[in-house]
Amino acid sequence: MEKTFYVTTPIYYVNDIPHLGHAYATLVADTLARYHRLAGWNTYFLTGTDEHGEKIWKTVQQLGRTPKEYVDEIAESGFKALWQRWGLSNNDFIRTTEPRHIQYVQKILQRLYDSGDIYFAEYEGLYSIGSERYVTEKELVEGADGIKRLPGDRDPPELRREANYFFKLEKYRPWLIEYLNEHPNLIEPVNYRNEVLEMLREPIGDLSISRPVARLPWGIPIPWDEGDVTYVWFDALLNYVSALGGEGAEKFNTYWHKTWHLVGKDILKTHSVFWLPMLKAAGLPLYEKLVVHAHILGFDGRKMGKSLGNAVDPIEMESRYGIDALRYALLRETTFQADSAFGEAILVNRLNSDLANDLGNLLSRVMSMLEKFTNSKIPVCNTLEAREESIKAAALKLPETILDEIRGLRFHVAIEKIMEFVRDLNRYVAESKPWDLAKLEDKTKLHTVLYTLVEGIRVASVLLEPVIPNKAKEIRAQLGIEGDFVLEPAWGLTKSGSQVAPSTVLFPKVDIATLETKKESVVTEVVSPVVEAPVQAFIGIEDFAKVQLKVAEVLSCERVPKADKLLNLTVAIGDEKRTILSGIAEYYTAEEMVGKRVVVVYNLAPRKMRGIESQGMILAATDENGKVVIVSPERLIPSGVEVR
């Protein structure tokens, strides 16, 4: 397989400073890029800013600023500076106001005009400034105020009648359907591909790609008509190619055919229905994959918004807990298919349980044992017995597994698999009792155990490096392990005899009770996310596909103190362990739940009840007497299997 990888983020509008959504998408792309680089792929990572269009023009007007001065400030001191401060690994940062981009957009416009794919006509339609595109009646949803808007937009669309240049989009619809059918993995996860196919079932019309200068002077001039500027999406989408220098450039030749665009589900249509025909019409090869991610919701499961008081400021989170903890929590808590809740308490819980407890404690225990038992030197490794062999075997298998999970867009599963390895090392400490081995005359076994632990931690640090790049290096620095490592099966790379550094706490534990955002810890009841889609009698298969149901096995169960209805269940879902709270205590005792196989909603946003985070929901029915009955598979099947 050719190991080349080009990943892009959406280029962000500069009408606002970076928020958690921007941070999330950029961190996901950064992590994808880092895993590929670590695995030896020739990788290029692009991000940037989208600086033209009505939205920006309106903002500038309201602020009474000149556009150039305003966009420079947000792009440079807002976005670019933040990514630099966080040490992100982007190879380039493109701004759509740069000459290299403007020239390329004009070249493509001219090409499409010359080939007859662009024409001039009068048009009347509904325009959304928020999403910068014409919308159809069908796409609008009635809000609580009775006004119809595009989901996610603040303002309703405006009726417009204007003479514009048009791109012959509709002409490409049959080709696009066929192309999507021939390339089932082009858009992932699959629920988004299905959404696009759904959009293409009816005519999509042609795409208006210009605005009169008289109304909107802030855009790229149409090369053959100085009275018009380009439509902002036509301009923006081309950044992915202009940043590589366009056709024929070395970077374009190297990377373009291996492109993965990462975008939020809000801009799925523009990156599929608009962008693919644009590429085809321009005679450019198509991208390899469109990776679509869901949205982050507030800790209460509602869409994040300043007015709801559930918005999380990424800069504040980073300054309180560090960039590595923010990265870890975001990537561990979210899935690409379905929206995920996020908030300070969620971050702190992950920080405490996974990073401070599982990973941090393992390191500090091993460091203090080295100090006590080997004079802070890495010991030699003697004969491996079955237990050490099993740790080694897991370590050798993980690099490939993790890259597969990451390329399969299951970041949370990848991280969980690494943490399971870390937890196994903790179990190994407890089982092998090095403090007892240290009392023996013969230190052979003690040394083997300590070496296995250090080498295990080294492997974990390499596997986790794309997620927590700074702390991964710090772990190895503490253990006195020098050099860079790659994501490849390897065991025994730690050098015996080297000196470890003085131990410091990797991730200080945070007292959850001291959180400033008190609101989060008092949410006890389930709040349904804001419903954005119109209510329908039937749902399509693509809607059902959004709900992931899995078989789980109840490992242990206890009553939640001072809650009459709640049971606290620890369940195994394949390799993963989760805590689930369920309101079934009146119908089932804790003892009788243990060992049961149940069906859980696997991708439900976690929710806090009584100070405990519930990570899913157990399916149950209510019988004719109002008694709750758990749904179980009809015969014994392994936990973790999908229910469809």
State which residue, 311 or 620, has the beta carbon closest to ligand MSP: 311
State which residue, 338 or 630, has the beta carbon closest to ligand MSP: 338
DSSP code of residue 354: I
Among the residue ranges 22-30, 63-71, 382-390, 502-510, the one whose residues contact ligand MSP (CB under 6 A): 22-30
Tell me the three state secondary structure of residue 124: strand
Q: How far is the CB of 24 from ligand MSP (least distance, A)?
A: 5
Rounded Cα distance, 629 and 587, in Å: 8
Q: How far is the CB of 16 from ligand MSP (least distance, A)?
A: 7
Q: How far is the CB of 141 from ligand MSP (least distance, A)?
A: 17
Q: How far is the CB of 229 from ligand MSP (least distance, A)?
A: 16
> How many other CB atoms sit within 10 Å of the CB of residue 283?
11
Q: Is 209 in the site for ligand MSP (CB under 6 A)?
A: no
Tell me the three state secondary structure of residue 389: helix
Among the residue ranges 20-28, 58-66, 197-205, 506-514, the one whose residues contact ligand MSP (CB under 6 A): 20-28
Q: Is 130 in the site for ligand MSP (CB under 6 A)?
A: no
Read off φ and ψ for residue 164, nearest 5 degrees. -135, 160
State which residue, 264 or 583, has the beta carbon closest to ligand MSP: 264
Q: Is 13 in the site for ligand MSP (CB under 6 A)?
A: yes
State which residue, 20 or 467, has the beta carbon closest to ligand MSP: 20
Among the residue ranges 17-25, 214-222, 322-330, 396-404, the one whose residues contact ligand MSP (CB under 6 A): 17-25
State which residue, 378 or 605, has the beta carbon closest to ligand MSP: 605
105 - beta bridge partners? none
Binding mask 226-265 for ligand MSP (x = CB under 6 A): ----------xx-x-----------------------xx-
Going by C-alpha positions, the residue among 361, 369, 354 that lies closest to residue 464 is: 354
> How many other CB atoms sit within 10 Å of the CB of residue 532?
11
C-beta separation of 252 from 246 below 8 A: yes
Binding ligand MSP (rule: CB under 6 A), the pick from 180, 267, 406, 457 is 267
Q: How far is the CB of 518 from ligand MSP (least distance, A)?
A: 23
Tell me the three state secondary structure of residue 286: coil
Going by C-alpha positions, the residue among 138, 47, 58, 50 that lies closest to residue 91 is: 47
Q: How far is the CB of 10 from ligand MSP (least distance, A)?
A: 4
Cβ neighbors of 14 (< 8 A, separation 6 or more) are: 49, 50, 51, 56, 70, 71, 74, 75, 78, 79
C-beta separation of 82 from 43 below 8 A: no
Q: How far is the CB of 150 from ligand MSP (least distance, A)?
A: 12
State which residue, 24 or 428, has the beta carbon closest to ligand MSP: 24
Burial (CB count <10 Å: 0-12, 13-18, 19+), residue 84: exposed
CA dihedral 568, 569, 570, 574 (to 10 degrees): -150
Residue type, 187: I
Rounded Cα distance, 255 and 241, in Å: 10
Q: Is 50 in the site for ligand MSP (CB under 6 A)?
A: yes
State which residue, 336 or 587, has the beta carbon closest to ligand MSP: 336
State which residue, 210 or 239, has the beta carbon closest to ligand MSP: 239
In which element (H, E) is residue 405 found?
helix 386-407
State which residue, 153 or 558, has the beta carbon closest to ligand MSP: 153
Binding mask 291-330 for ligand MSP (x = CB under 6 A): ----xx-------x--------------------------
Q: How far is the CB of 21 from ligand MSP (least distance, A)?
A: 2
Binding ligand MSP (rule: CB under 6 A), the pick from 5, 6, 7, 24 is 24
Rounded Cα distance, 196 and 277, in Å: 13
133 - beta bridge partners? 128
Binding ligand MSP (rule: CB under 6 A), the pick from 5, 7, 25, 341 is 25
Q: How far is the CB of 140 from ligand MSP (least distance, A)?
A: 18
Q: How far is the CB of 19 from ligand MSP (least distance, A)?
A: 7
Q: How far is the CB of 363 from ligand MSP (least distance, A)?
A: 32
Rounded Cα distance, 576 and 599, in Å: 15
State which residue, 141 or 643, has the beta carbon closest to ligand MSP: 141
Among the residue ranges 4-12, 194-202, 410-418, 522-530, the one whose residues contact ligand MSP (CB under 6 A): 4-12
Rounded Cα distance, 623 and 587, in Å: 12
> How many other CB atoms sit within 10 Å of the CB of residue 427?
10
Rounded Cα distance, 473 and 484, in Å: 9
In which element (H, E) is residue 570 found?
strand 567-573
State which residue, 192 or 588, has the beta carbon closest to ligand MSP: 192
Q: How far is the CB of 290 from ligand MSP (least distance, A)?
A: 12
- Whether the CA torsion 220, 218, 313, 521 is positive or negative: it is negative
Read off φ and ψ for residue 103, nearest 5 degrees. -60, -40
Q: Is 60 in the site for ligand MSP (CB under 6 A)?
A: no
Q: How far is the CB of 642 from ligand MSP (least distance, A)?
A: 25
Rounded Cα distance, 600 and 553, in Å: 10
167 - beta bridge partners? 118, 207
Q: Is 12 in the site for ligand MSP (CB under 6 A)?
A: yes
User: What length does the chain have?
Assistant: 644
The residue sitting closest to ligand MSP, measured at its beta carbon, is: 21
Q: How far is the CB of 327 from ligand MSP (least distance, A)?
A: 14
Binding ligand MSP (rule: CB under 6 A), the pick from 5, 6, 10, 506 is 10
C-beta separation of 55 from 127 below 8 A: no
Binding ligand MSP (rule: CB under 6 A), the pick from 11, 46, 367, 370 is 11
Cβ neighbors of 134 (< 8 A, separation 6 or more) are: 123, 125, 126, 127, 128, 160, 208
Q: Which of residues 456-485 bind ligand MSP (CB under 6 A)?
A: none
Among the residue ranges 19-27, 63-71, 410-418, 579-587, the one whose residues contact ligand MSP (CB under 6 A): 19-27
Binding ligand MSP (rule: CB under 6 A), the pick from 72, 247, 266, 313 is 266
> How many other CB atoms sit within 10 Å of the CB of residue 405?
19
State which residue, 263 or 347, has the beta carbon closest to ligand MSP: 263
Count, residues near ligand MSP per rule CB under 6 A? 19
Residues that bind ligand MSP (CB under 6 A): 10-13, 21-22, 24-25, 50, 236-237, 239, 263-264, 266-267, 295-296, 304
